[in-house]
Structure 1
Amino acid sequence: MKSLYERFDKSKGICTDSRKLRSGQIFFALKGDNFNGNQFANEALKNGASAIVLDEIIENLNYNNSDVFFVKNVLTHLQNFATYHRNKWGKTIIGITGSNGKTTVKELLFNVLSQGYSTHATEGNYNNHIGVPLTLLNIRDSHDIAIVEMGANHIGEIKALCEISLPDYGYITNFGLAHLEGFGGIEGVIKGKSELYEHLDKNNSISFVNPNDSIALKNCNSQNIEFTDGVNFFYKSGLLGVSFGNEEILTNLTGSYQENNVLAAITIGRNFELEDSKIAKGIANYIPQNNRGQIFKTGKNTIFLDAYNANPTSMEASLRNAVNLYKKMPHVYIAGGLLELGEYSKSQHQRMIEIFQELEIENAWFIGKQFEESQMPEKYYNYRDTAQALEALRGKQIHGNFIWIKGSRSFALEALLDEL
């Protein structure tokens, strides 16, 4: 470990894809269901790897001046190596998990804490057993704080990610109906997500807690910090505004379900002794990207697009908020199927249609085979996939409407924007 770390200190970072490797990086030859990184060792060396880490003997290796490290298991070594680096760095890590909103909280926190600290955060959705180690290995000595997002769809995964990243602080956004298939139901979700608070408790570390979340309060440790007081919210032109202390700002977020995310950012910012003015600036600077909760206008309509992820909890919250804010506008509501629900899939998709009816939504489109077994009013449309829905849109002239679009990433619902 020590000799590899000495090489790492002089390298240009870590890479696990030989096609993307830059000269001077260290190549870790990971394996997957359909690939074996060891087979690309020579390609990595040809592209300028300063060292490679393998768990298989490869014939005819063109070593050049590179170091080759043979280990028992590359993935395990990557994870242990990341922990080794985390301990060498030795500063503050904040762990974030939850069923919904963890990426938004991570990005809000990054923008807030960057106002006073050199801050590193998970890039994109690098939040699993590979992404978390890579996030840690991108921490530099100059960083003061790192924010590590942790995702999971089975019990035990958050525990493992905590053992890799060793967070000093943590926050669980919520416990929702996500990944029910893997967790085996809502009780499994609660148990799995709570592993972050369990780790913090075991290590005498600190939890940030939403005091209005009874599940979080029940499962958090004794050393916890609840949401700060004196924060008020308002809405203007569909966007969420917030006032606290002497600050009042309009965020780039929409939806009452974002209030807790903003509260978490303010609470954690204050805990790290940032002035309210800097916290406000950080929150105002955050603009959702990558089809996550974005609201904008095209030449024809007002669009709310959240096509990165969806589960029953997040979809219902977003839907109720949109109906409340835009009920006076003509509308089209487009929902993509919900994935990883297992035995709960049929009942949850039926429940979603019933919520649409309860909210008196007149024009609704449901996309995906997941809705095929649902009982659906004749006025609603069901399309097997996004391509079929896009074709149907081409025959319609939709102008002056509020268009709500939400669904799982695999549906690529953003393709519908071409006709909206």
Structure 2
Amino acid sequence: MYTLASILSHIHSKRHVVHDAEKPIYDLAYDSRKIRNAEHSLFFALKNVRDGHTFIPDAYQKGIRAFVVSRDDIDTSLYPEASFLWVDDVLGALQDLARHHRKKFKKPVIGITGSNGKTIVKEWLAQLLQEDKKVYQSPKSYNSQLGVALSLWNLADDYDCAIIEAGISLPGEMDQLEAMICPDIGIMTNIGVAHADGFASKTLKIKEKLKLFKHTKDVIFPSRYGFEEYLAAETRVFTFGERDMDEVKVLRIEEMHAESSSIQVSYRQEIVTFAVPFVDKASIENVLICLTTLLFLGYPLDAIPHKLGRLRPLEMRLQLKTGRNNCSIIDDTYSNDLASLQIALDFLHQQQQHKKKTLILSDIDGLNDHLEAKLLSILRQQNLNRIIIVGKSLRHLQDKLHTTLLFFDSTEELVRNLGNITLENESILIKGSRRYHLEDVSKLLVAKSHETVLEINLSALEHNLQAYRSMLPPNVKLMVMVKAFSYGSGSYEVANLLQFNKVDYLTVAFADEGVELRQHGIDLPIMVLSPDEQVFESLLSAHLEPEIYSFRILKAFIDFLRIRKQKDFPIHIKIDTGMHRLGFLPDEMEELTALLSAASEINVKTVFSHLVASGNRQHDDFTMQQIAMFSSSVDKLEARLGYRVIRHIANTSGIANWPSAYMDMVRLGIGLYGVDMDGKMTLEKVSELKTTITQIKELPEGATVGYDRKGLLHRPSRIATVKIGYADGYSRRFGGGVGEMSINGQKIRTVGSICMDMCMLDVTDIVAHELDEVVVFPDLMEAAKHIDTIPYELLVNISDRVKRVYFYG
């Protein structure tokens, strides 16, 4: 336990105002949306995309009474009960505290870095070691400057060892991570292309990553990478590979069949052969890293193979799926420890589509009295309606929690009784360690659908949101377009994330879309584009704000509001400055303002227009004319109305190219979903359309494939049928070799016509098996070019029957 007094000595505070020096501090907070144990939390006002100091009022209102800050303009009189610690660098102070806490942990700390495989090796190692040790591991991909600090804060003497992951994307970042982690044992996975843009060369990237081990005595890695030449001379290396000098020599790796491999290794004149359920090189290398680490730790060679044979591919992403009976299923069934449980519960709390929340939780290995008390604290801080516990070791919690609890000795018993439990209209988090196989429960609760899925990476969407937000001045508001099913990515799932990230407005195309968002807990202001008279009642009942684009609609809406005795209903005025689609023309401003100023029924919330070619430099003169015309029109409107309105004209390309058009608010659309039409942003891919191979046929030269025999084979061929067709949104224009898909990283083309539910691929030249995963659009921009369209069309045409699977990580 720390007190404010003890923390002061570790974070180099330059001045402070402390009301209660002996106040116990258990939790570190940095996000006012995720405050749990406010009374005993220390809030760090980090300056990132958004300045954490602006959220001090929110944190104080939620009960935080201790803050670490760097700004000198804080009016402490507004927070009479709060303590403030001023530092030069808030993140640095948090790292200093984590560094001090790490030094108190005297058990072995394993540090893992590399380009790929870090998280998998960490999770597999924890899984292997937990059979006879209490293992702490950094949760999920908490490997950044902030993530590592938060991970280390949870270290406790209850554990026998710790595994901490470190990731960097730029030179200089590893020094801070090394100072915090101070690993006793190092593991280096491979060096690939991840984050390559941040380093001048591969050699520089290797040297930067190996800085994690500059004070580490023993480092484990695959010898084929030759990392030893970059390590200090006194560092002891423990390698595996094909060299005679390797501690673990790999004698043979053979693919047994489609899903497993046989590996033979020698160690200290002992030879063992074992099978693992993997065939890809990356997984086999990760298995060998785990094997070598266990040998280094003293495990006998003959005791390891059966452990490795039980490893399985990890779904390391927290997934949000549509469940049966109008439920939302949060599937996080690959591990179960206190840190990852808290992260998953935070995500559950973020979901507002259902008021009722259920947790399905397996026993947690290695709990002692102290860790169990921490588990109880975590569960008590959650607003859970029900907890279903699988296993026998937590039954005594019955008398310690004021929540409905159900207990089942095993997953099999829960599965047998699932039909007797009412699960409907609720969000359900399934959290369990690997050995409980709670994925069997998830499969039963998730709504069955066509096997083609659209995976939505919510953390990538969040990254893209922050990338655009970082370009905006603090006073510029952000409206986000979630029309057309959020460009194919889903409705309330995406809106929930945007609401959690405190955007200012959402925009939908139709009132029905807005009504659905309201039904699923979205309370942000929502603008509805181009409504007609038939939806006025829905606008009123769901508190949706219409775009008003013509005198006909304006007069009809005023009459509607007058009959219902409504006053000051918010509306949004659309001005046509050159798109010539919808909107009032600039020369109609006098008539428009006269009508608006005389109508007490409405209140003009915003006035906006649409840039025609903000991403095309050839039309810059026209864009400047639009901006000037818009500003002049709004000036006239405001002068007559007598109050200010919110102005917005910049769309996604406008954000990237026209800072002069930011005005009061900008509208973010396709860029949020990872499509960079301007080539100026570093965006992450948000959605990936995937399907599977249903069947593979060997066909002779001269055979034809598909309707009208359009797919003529000019050689003996292997043809794969996959589960996607034009009813799923895969255009018929992709037929005849125009469409390109990817299987195991290998690109292939379509054969013949696209059918309604299926299409065929030529897999003659690649390794492919039935049930293999197929990426439908390896490159969305290229796919759009192939059929002379834009990425928007491909995304929005993905059918509603294609199941959306949401994940974090």
Q: TM-score, normalised by structure 1?
A: 0.68
**2:794 corresponds to which residue?**
388
> Which ranges of structure 1 fall in alignment gaps of 5 or more residues?
310-321, 335-351, 397-413
Q: Distance in 2 between matches of 1:120 and 1:207?
A: 20
- Does 2:32 align with 1:18? yes
- The equivalent of 1:48 in structure 2 is 63
Counterpart of 2:259 in structure 1 is: 238
Equivalent runs, 1:239-388 vs 2, <5 Å: 239=260, 248=274, 250-251=276-277, 255-274=280-299, 277=303, 280-281=306-307, 284=310, 287-290=313-316, 330=720, 356=747, 360=765, 365-368=776-779, 371=782, 385=791, 388=794
CA distance in 2 between partners of 1:331 and 1:136 (Å): 49
CA contact (8 A) 1:15 1:28 kept: yes
- Contact conserved, 2:108 with 2:161, CA < 8 A, in 1? yes
Distance in structure 1 (CA, Å) of the matches to 2:108 and 2:23:
20
Deviation at 1:204, TM superposition (A): 5.1
Single out whichever of 229-238 and 217-226 deviates more from structure 2: 229-238
What is the alpha-carbon distance in structure 1 between the residues aligned to residue 792 and residue 238 of structure 2? 44
Counterpart of 2:310, as a letter, is A
Tell me, yes or no, if the aligned pair for 1:332 and 1:365 is still in contact at 8 Å. Answer: no
Q: Secondary structure at the match of 1:267?
A: helix
The structure with the largest alpha-carbon Rg is 2
Name the counterpart of 2:239: 226
Partners of 1:291 and 1:387 in 2: CA distance: 28
What residue number does 1:112 align with?
Answer: 128
Counterpart amino acid of 1:209?
A: F
Paired residue for 2:206?
A: 190
Aligned-partner residue type, residue 212 of structure 1: R
Partner of 1:401: none
**CA contact 2:112–2:187 (8 Å) conserved in 1:** yes
Shift of 1:190: 2.8
Deviating more after overlay: 259-268 vs 3-12: 3-12
Q: Is 1:75 aligned to residue 75 of structure 2? A: no
SS of 2:112's partner is: strand
Q: Contact (CA 8 Å) 2:781, 2:791: kept in 1 or not?
A: no
Q: Give the direction of change, closer, same or farther, for the CA distance of 1:304–1:61 in structure 2 (3 Å limit).
A: closer
Deviation at 1:116? 2.6
Could you report, residue by residue, the CA deviation over 1:141-194 in whole angstroms, capped at 9, with x for unpaired residues? 212222111111112222331122211221221111222221134343333333
Q: What residue in structure 2 maps to residue 314 of structure 1?
A: none
CA contact (8 A) 2:111 2:164 kept: yes
1:46-103 alpha-carbon deviations (Å, 9 max, x no partner): 3233632222242134343x54322222111011111111112233221111111111
Q: CA deviation at 1:258?
A: 0.7
- Deviation of residue 287 (structure 1)? 4.9
Equivalent position of 1:343 in the other structure: none
| Residues 247, 16 of structure 1: alpha-carbon distance in 2 compared, 3 angstrom cutoff | farther
Distance 1:71 1:241 in 2: 56
**CA offsets 1:95-119 (integer angstroms, 9 cap, x no match):** 1111111111111111122223221
Structure 1 match to 2:79: 62
How far apart are the structure 2 equivalents of 1:93 and 1:383?
53
Q: Distance in 2 between matches of 1:138 and 1:382?
A: 53
Instruction: Compute the displacement of 1:242 (Å).
Output: 6.0
Does the C-alpha gap of structure 1 residues 356 and 369 become closer, same or farther in structure 2, counting only changes over 3 Å? closer
SS in 1 for 2:238: strand
Opposite residue 238 of structure 2, the aligned amino acid is I
Deviation at 1:208, TM superposition (A): 0.3
Is 2:164 the counterpart of 1:175? no
Secondary structure of the structure 1 residue equivalent to 2:63: coil
1:72 aligned counterpart, secondary structure: coil
Deviation at 1:368, TM superposition (A): 4.2
C-alpha spacing 1:143/1:18, structure 2 compared with 1 (3 Å) = same
Q: CA–CA distance in 1 between the matches of 2:238 and 2:198? A: 30
Matches of 1:152 and 1:97 in 2, distance apart?
9
Shift of 1:384: 5.6
1:212 matches 2:224: yes
State the match for 2:608 in structure 1.
Answer: none
CA distance change for structure 1 residues 132 and 209 in 2, over 3 Å: closer, same or farther?
Answer: same
Task: Quote the residue 1:318 is aligned against.
Answer: none
Q: Given the superposition, is the C-alpha separation of residues 176 and 250 from structure 1 closer, same or farther in structure 2, using an over 3 Å criterion?
A: closer
Aligned 8 A contact 2:107 2:160 in 1: yes
**Structure 1 359/220 Cα, relative in aligned 2: closer, same or farther at 3 Å?**
farther
Q: Distance in 2 between matches of 1:272 and 1:8?
A: 41
Task: Write the distance in 2 (CA, Å) between the matches of 1:68 and 1:86.
Answer: 24
In structure 2, the partner of 1:145 is 161
Which letter does structure 1 place at the counterpart of 2:33?
R
Q: Is the Cα–Cα contact under 8 Å of residues 100 and 173 in structure 1 kept in the other structure?
A: yes
Please report how far the alpha carbon of residue 394 of structure 1 lies from its aligned counterpart in structure 2 after TM superposition: 7.6
Q: Residue 116 of structure 1 contacts residue 274 of structure 1 at CA under 8 Å; is this kept in 2?
A: no
CA–CA distance in 1 between the matches of 2:229 and 2:455? Answer: 34
**TM-score, structure 2 length as denominator?**
0.38
The 2-side partners of 1:77 and 1:188 are apart by: 28
Provide the alpha-carbon RMSD of the alignment: 4.7
Aligned in 2, Cα 1:306/1:355: closer, same or farther, shift over 3 Å?
farther
* Corresponding residue SS for 1:14: strand
DSSP-derived class of the 2:57 partner: helix
* 1:67 to 1:148, Cα distance in 2 relative to 1, 3 A: same
What secondary structure, in the 3-state scheme, does the structure 1 residue paired with 2:64 have? Answer: coil
The question of whether the paired residues in 1 share the 8 Å contact of 2:777 and 2:783 is answered with no
- Please point out which of 52, 57, 62 is paired with 1:37: 52
The alignment of Structure 1 onto Structure 2 pairs a total of residues equal to 357
The 1:286/1:372 distance shift into structure 2, 3 A limit, reads closer
Q: Please report how far the alpha carbon of residue 36 of structure 1 lies from its aligned counterpart in structure 2 after TM superposition.
A: 1.6
Letter in 2 for 1:110: A
Q: For 1:181, what is the secondary structure of its paired residue?
A: helix
Q: Report the AA paired with residue 265 of structure 1.
A: C
Q: Distance in 2 between matches of 1:242 and 1:9?
A: 56
Distance 1:229 1:415, change over 3 A: same
| 1:53–1:71 Cα contact (<8 Å) kept | yes
1: distance between equivalents of 2:105 and 2:228?
32
Query: How many angstroms does 1:366 deviate by?
Result: 3.2
Query: Once the two structures are superposed, what CA deviation does each residue of 1:18-51 show, in whole Å capped at 9, x if it has no partner?
Result: 2211122222111112x22122223323323363
From the superposition, tell whether residues 84 and 177 of structure 1 become closer, same or farther in structure 2 (CA, over 3 Å).
same
Deviations 1:197-255 (A, max 9, x none): xxx3x4252110212323x243344411113347866555525566777795654x562
Alpha-carbon spacing, 1:159–1:263, altered in 2? closer, same or farther (3 Å) = same
